[in-house]
Structure 1
Amino acid sequence: GCDGYKDYTYLSTNMYIGFSYPITVTNGSPRSGDQCGIWVDWSRDDDFGDANETIVVSGTPGSGPYTATLTPPAGASQGNARMRVRITRTGTVDPCGTTAYGEVEDYMINVMVCTLPGTPTGVSASDGTYCDKVRITWNTVSGASSYKIYRSTSNTQCPEPPLATGVTGTSYDDTSGSLGTIQYYYSVKATNICGDGPCSVTNAGQRSGPPEDFDLDCDVDDDDYDPFEACSTGPGIPVAVGCENRDLDGDADVDQSDFSIFQRCVNRAYDPGDPFCED
């Protein structure tokens, strides 16, 4: 059966210029010779005669379902554009006019220009605050749906690939960086359905543990004893290459004085609030 014409323009969906959207039309009373047509008044001049306003439909003629792709073209007028869908059994499939069988339905498309998010500001990376991570924070960007985080060992903005994607808050903990003296440069992009916004400026940060944590596992324990002992040379003997961080008292040798400092911090988790084991 058919009801001639239905006005469903109170039903609207948003579409961005240049983006593609699939549409499927179901035939309520299918016949093998039925035809389907779709038109969109992208120019909003109250007709369907302009370029790109006749949509290519797959599956017609036939009983359906019929499929097509709607892509608001560059230059489309922003605002509500009428979409017309027609199924007819005989005659030419036109957006206007009468036929003996079939139905015409009108809907509304809200045509929009996609706007990229802005540049993140206030990017800050913790610099030695944590042993197990570097925490990056930034200010909220209007229009952003998520953020991308970038890391580099040189002062480079947003080097590909990103360290993390799909971050929905305004902070990120980087736990994958090396512990020690390596300094990282972090930058951030805001993103949404339209794409990525501009890259932020960089900010440097690094993980930092106690100097007695020779195996770099964020605590001072028995596992740190062997690398310490291997560097012990005794009073007055210069520190060997690669053992510089075992000279805990800074007197240019690795001796009992350094071992005493090590023993004070051994067998306890690193506490950034302990000035002795921190320094």
Structure 2
Amino acid sequence: MINSAYVVTVLPYLVGLTLGIVYRKPISYFLTRLNRAKLSSSGVELETHKQLGKLSSQGQEMASILKEIRNDIERIVHHEKPYTDYVEVLQDTEKYIRECCEEEKSHSTSHINIKIMAVSMNFSWNFIAGKVPKILKDYDNAYINTEIVFVDADFLELLQLETYNINWAAESRQRVMQIKNFIHGLPDNLRDRFSVSARVYRNIPHWHGFLVNRKYLFLGRTDWDFSANRPKLSVGQNKYLYFDRSAVAGCERIDLFSTWHRYYFEFASKSIHDIN
């Protein structure tokens, strides 16, 4: 998190960038709002373009503008700092799920939707099976619906990928059994509050990740290594990016991920319960 002193220091240099990226409006729009905030000598005094005078109760719009810009700067910096691997992603995924639960804590029920698009869920399944039940225990009014799509084991086997370090086909088969056993073994106090639907599709995703409540997206990419005799698929060790709906670019990525997830989940996959 950026501290306030830092924001004040760099504010003159980032105002234009922030307005251009987030507000999509010229600097003149910002200046107009500042001039409107200059109500009287007892209100907001603007001595020069470099110095802001004292704020009174009449100058609340000025404080609101500065707060908005500070928050937008922090979001921009956060977006431009990619996660190095899946470990940090899962930590923040849990944080945002809990935030969603907190936001609806005053409601009688809190409904959280998690969409996952993966290769074999090597790095995400332990999170779903281990962390999510703990979150539900902490928020007794929460209901979590999880929709998962990952790559079919038979399809992965046909690709004859390098199996050094990880055998993707074997992992996918193991995941099918683990998810089935997990669903069957859910305790009664969680069975009605934790829905897990999993399907397999026949493709290698260019992008994969987590989407929480159509608001918070953690997006990773797949990559290839051709140093061995067979192509080696790389997934969780690659960089991840974070997007939310605070900016146009984030909305576009979230919508794109949602449409691909829906296509695989509803039209181009089969349920794990149809796999023997």
| TM-score, reference length from structure 1 | 0.20
Question: Higher relative contact order by CA 8 Å / sep ≥ 6: 1 or 2?
Answer: 2
Bigger proportion of residues as strand: 1
| TM-score, reference length from structure 2 | 0.20
Over alpha carbons, which structure has the higher Rg? 1
